[in-house]
A and B are shown apart, each in its own frame.
Chain A
Amino acid sequence: MAIKNQIKQSLIIAFWFMILTFPIMVIKVNTIQNTIDFRWANLLWVGIVTFFASMVWNYFLRRNEAQKKKEIDDDIPLIHRLLQNDRFRRPFLGVVAAFFLAYPFVFPMYHTSIMISALVYVMLGLGLNIVVGLAGLLDLGYVAFYAVGAYAYALLNLHFGLSFWVVLPMSALLGTLFGVMLGYPVLRLRGDYLAIVTLGFGEIIRIVLENWDTFSNGPRGIADIPPPTFFGHYFDQHDTMIYIYFIVTGLVLMTIFFVNRLENSKIGRAWIALRDDEIACQAMGIDKFKTKLTAFALGATWAAMGGVVFAAKTSYINPMSFTIWESITILCVVVIGGMGSAIGVIAGALVLILLPEYLRAVSEYRMLVFGALQVIVMVFKPDGLIKSVRKVYTFNVQEKAIHEQTHT
């Protein structure tokens, strides 16, 4: 009986979608040649696909509901449980390290290049995770700092001939400076007001880069940005790629280390507390504004460093690389991966950047699939692929009892 009802429901949904998509899927008008093209086959496909999709969708939705009722809230994701287990952690990290070490030598250059982009996004994601995941500030203009880093390298190199290794720390400082500058006037705003203002800043920086010809060379961009050197020595194209790969891997490791240490530091705990309850936090004597500003500025630092690596890798930048869609992609990395969890962000970056690259085979449909996947992941896993786990301080009751006994 239940099955029968489901089929009936799915049929109704399929019919609804057939009506809904009729003008756009079926009719195609050519206003120049004055012809109308009716593509009835599409209607059939829409019907069939939505029928099965709605069956699957409803099934999983029901299963999700049932699971939610069963489970208590301490479901720690598998990967966290495994990583907490010492016997598993060492070999696992060993395998991961070996994989990343061998990667550029095993796979051809094309794959190395894609992996570099993915790793840059890991860096950006971890940086944005400080702002969005830990401090709870919705930043839709993160790409502005990425652009600052990329243009800092391109311009400083063009005018002063500064090398990658000189610019990298400089750009980190510059990113922090920009973070403070942009953060200062707007961090008093709350929630979505902050989101739209940061989005505005991102767009402002892009439009200025696009129109201020004498400064940034406008929409033509800057070409011939040199790759990083190894103590003044240039590699050939192939080796450069591998070299950059290892630089990025190193930077990612550094980022993971820093973010991990920050998260459990005094300031990291202040961020999390601020995200969860601002008023309680202020009552505990935490300077709300200063704490937010630190998060914003530190996030900007990683973005700027990511920008430098990006410029060095592509050797050509123009404002089109820094549109709002870039900010949105980075935000998706953080949210789909799992807000506040470093492993989640890494997984999110690898999935979100590698997937569209390998979907190039169906290149026309890849953004369609990408959009649909975002909706699907969020509907079925609203906390992200790997959700964050709060650090739990275990408190040994027995020990305390003994301690008390000896003192009395």
Chain B
Amino acid sequence: MRWIKISLGLAVIGIIGFFTVRELLMDPMYFFELFLGGLTRGSIYALIALGYTMVYGIIQLINFAHGEIYMIGAMTALIVASVLGMWGWNTAVIAILAFVFAIVYSCAYGFTVEKIAYKPLRNAPRLSALISAIGMSLFLQNYVMLAQTPDYLPFKSLIPDFKFWEPFAHIITSVEITIIITTVIVMILLGLLIKFTRIGKAMRATAQDKVMAALLGINVNNVISATFVVGSATAAIGGVLIACHVGQINFYIGFLAGLKAFIAAVLGGIGSIPGAVLGSLVLGISESYFTGYFYSEYEDVFAFTILVIILIFRPSGILGKHDTQKV
């Protein structure tokens, strides 16, 4: 088994290396553009994947409704921006308010979903919580579809084309660079939050051992709620940014994005925050190269294939801890 793995690994690395070098030499500019495209894509995945991985780290639940939270963030931003736009407000103010409302509402939805669908199931079998999450996801999708519209809605970008960015705009648009920079900032803030604040420490403690954390005076329910709120906030930022990038949204965008982000989180090692970021970047960049050089219709197949290959070599993801089972 071992030599099969090693030779398979070497073959994969060899093929990837060969293509990389060849394409890099043939058309360096195109190669670089694909890299930046992948970076943008990976940043969005990372913003969504964070919510998955944080929730999983604390209550070991695949939060299927997370993609819907992201969709609701984008939807709220669209509604707020169009209402204010029709009232003739300043575009900068509109952009800020749309972001703020999207984040606040996503947090509120994340909080409420946890209270309704997951909290009563804290001690139930894990699959029951998963089905409850799936039900919630279906409910939210249909709720937005019925209350708004099943069609695609055009989303006018909230991020203007910056004047000072014009010389570089042919390589990477100002929306894309905003996405990458915002993601970096969010990651740093989140890292600081987890590492140094009281609630961050409480989160880490709860993730390690819920009972012990409760014994030490941490209110576990509040910590779980806080995790959902933080995860929803990053998802909302991701939602608004991707809507600006793509230019249209509908009630169903959350599902596929959520799925991809979840793959990214698993790829990096679910439960680990740096893992989610790394996994997202790996997935985003490799997808970008794959669609750029090979077939775009097999994009999702490729994403899953990477996942399977990586999990065969590292069964707990790239940065996942290989926890030994104890009796």
- With a 10 A CB-CB cut-off, give which of B56, B78, B121, B138 has the most chain A CB atoms: B138
User: Mask for A200-233, Cβ within 8 A of B = 1, else 0?
Assistant: 1101100110010000000000000000000000
Judged by a CB distance under 8 angstroms, whether B300 is at the interface is yes
User: What residues of A have a CB within 8 angstroms of the CB of B298 in the complex?
Assistant: 207, 211
The answer to whether B117 and A23 touch across the interface, beta carbons within 8 angstroms, is: no
Q: A185-B308, A195-B62, A339-B127 are in contact. Are A28 and B135 (CB under 8 A)?
A: no
**Among B75, B131, B307, contact of A197 (Cβ-Cβ < 8 Å):** B307
A401 to B135, CA, bound (A): 54
Are A371 and B139 neighbours in the complex by a CB distance under 8 Å?
A: yes
Contact of B307 among A190, A196, A378 (CB under 8 A): A196
Of all chain A residues, the one with the shortest Cβ separation from B78 is: A29
Asked whether A24 and B304 contact (CB < 8 A) given A335-B128, A378-B124, the answer is no
Q: Is the CB of A196 within 8 A of B139?
A: no
- A364 — nearest CB in chain B belongs to which residue? B146
Given A208-B301, A372-B139, A375-B116, does the pair A365, B146 have CB atoms closer than 8 Å? yes
B75, closest chain A residue (CB):
A24
A24 & B143 in contact (Cβ 8 Å cutoff) = yes
Given contacts A25-B147, A378-B121, contact A335 B127 (CB under 8 A): yes
- Taking the complex as formed, is B226 at the interface, i.e. its CB lies under 8 A from any CB of chain A? no
B137 at the interface (CB under 8 A from A): yes
Q: A34 contacts the other chain (Cβ, under 8 Å)?
A: yes
A138 touches B127 (CB 8 A): yes
Check B105–A196 contact: CB distance below 8 A.
Answer: no
CB distance from B70 to the nearest CB of A (A): 14
Q: Mark B293-315, 1 if CB is under 8 A from A, else 0.
A: 00101101101110110011001
Q: Is A193 an interface residue (CB 8 A)?
A: yes
Contacts of A17 in B (CB 8 A): 112
Residues 271-299 (chain B) with a chain A CB within 8 angstroms: 295, 297-298
Measured between beta carbons, the chain A residues less than 8 angstroms from B72 are 24
Q: Is B109 an interface residue (CB 8 A)?
A: yes
**B304, A367: Cβ atoms closer than 8 Å:** no
Q: Is A132 an interface residue (CB 8 A)?
A: yes
- Interface size for B (C-beta < 8 A) is 68
Q: Which residue of A lies closest to B326 (CB)?
A: A279
Roughly how many angstroms separate A93 CA and B294 CA in the complex, as a whole number? 58
Structural contact, B78 and A379, CB atoms closer than 8 A: no
B86 touches A34 (CB 8 A): yes
Q: Which of B199-207, B227-235, B262-270 binds A?
A: B262-270
| Chain A min CB distance to B221 (Å) | 15
Q: Which residue of A lies closest to B315 (CB)?
A: A189
Per-residue contact bits, chain B 76-93, to A (CB 8 Å; 1 contact, 0 not): 101110110010000000
Specify the chain B residue showing the minimal Cβ separation from A208.
Answer: B301
Question: Helix, strand, loop or mixed for chain A's interface?
Answer: helix
A317 to chain B, nearest CB (A): 20
Q: Residue of B at shortest CB range from A138?
A: B127
In the bound complex, residues from chain B placing their C-beta under 8 Å from that of A19 are: 108
**B100 contacts chain A at the CB level, 8 A cutoff:** no
B144 interfacial contact with A, CB 8 Å:
yes
Cβ of A328 within 8 Å of any chain B Cβ, yes or no, is yes
Decide: A383 near B127, CB < 8 A? Known: A190-B315, A192-B62, A192-B270.
Answer: no
Chain A contacts for B121, CB-based, 8 A: 378-379, 382
Q: Say whether B108 contacts A371, CB under 8 Å.
A: no
Does B182 belong to the interface (CB within 8 Å)?
no
A335 to B131, CA, bound (A): 7
A23 to B129, CA, bound (A): 28
- Of B60, B79, B142, B300, the contact of A207 (CB 8 Å cutoff): B300
Among A21, A61, A193, A203, contact of B304 (Cβ-Cβ < 8 Å): A203
Asked whether, in the complex, the Cβ of A204 is within 8 Å of the Cβ of B134, the reply is no
Residues on A facing B (Cβ under 8 Å):
16-17, 19-21, 23-25, 27-29, 31, 34, 36, 42, 61, 132, 138, 185-186, 188-190, 192-193, 195-197, 199-201, 203-204, 207-208, 211, 278-280, 324, 328, 331-332, 335-336, 339, 364-365, 367-368, 370-375, 378-379, 382-384
Q: Which 3 A-B pairs have the closest CB atoms?
A: A374-B135, A371-B138, A200-B304
| Sample (15) of A-B pairs whose CB atoms are under 8 Å apart | A23-B105, A61-B120, A138-B127, A138-B130, A185-B308, A190-B315, A192-B270, A200-B303, A207-B297, A208-B301, A335-B130, A375-B116, A378-B121, A378-B135, A379-B117
B positions within 8 Å CB-CB of A: 56, 60, 62, 72, 75-76, 78-80, 82-83, 86, 101, 105, 108-109, 112, 116-117, 120-121, 124-125, 127-132, 134-144, 146-148, 153-154, 156, 259, 262-263, 266, 270, 295, 297-298, 300-301, 303-305, 307-308, 311-312, 315-317, 325, 327
Q: A208-B301, A365-B142 are in contact. List 12 more A-B contacts (CB 8 A).
A: A24-B144, A25-B147, A28-B147, A31-B153, A61-B120, A200-B305, A204-B304, A368-B143, A371-B142, A374-B131, A375-B139, A378-B131
